[in-house]
Amino acid sequence: MAKTLVIFTIVLLLFAISVSSSNPDPNLNPNSDPAPSEAHKVLIRFGFPIGLLPRNVNGYSLNSSSGEFLVSLGEKCKITLPPDNYLATYSKKIRGKIVENRIAELDGISVRAFFKWWGITGIRSSGENLVFEVGMVTAKYPSMNFNESPYCEGKKHSSS
Ligand X SMILES: *[C@@H]1O[C@H](CO)[C@@H](O)[C@H](O)[C@H]1NC(C)=O
Which residues contribute to the site for ligand X (CB under 6 A)? Answer: 63, 65-66
Closest distance to ligand X from the beta carbon of 70 (Å):
10
Among the listed residues 83, 79, 111, the one whose alpha carbon sits nearest the alpha carbon of residue 18 = 83
Closest distance to ligand X from the beta carbon of 45 (Å):
17
Rounded to an integer, what distance in angstroms lies between the CA atom of residue 55 and that of residue 36?
Answer: 7
Beta carbon nearer to ligand X, 60 or 146: 60
- The 10 Å Cβ neighbour count of residue 149 is 24
Beta carbon nearer to ligand X, 68 or 153: 68
Closest distance to ligand X from the beta carbon of 63 (Å):
4
Handedness of CA 147, 151, 152, 157 (dihedral sign): negative
Closest distance to ligand X from the beta carbon of 73 (Å):
21
Asked whether the beta carbons of 83 and 72 are under 8 A apart, the reply is no
Rounded to an integer, what distance in angstroms lies between the CA atom of residue 50 and that of residue 64?
Answer: 19
Beta carbon nearer to ligand X, 65 or 158: 65
Q: Which residues contact 68 (CB under 8 A, 6 or more apart)?
A: 62, 95, 96, 97
Beta carbon nearer to ligand X, 58 or 66: 66
Beta carbon nearer to ligand X, 97 or 124: 97
Handedness of CA 149, 153, 154, 156 (dihedral sign): positive
Closest residue to bound ligand X by CB: 66
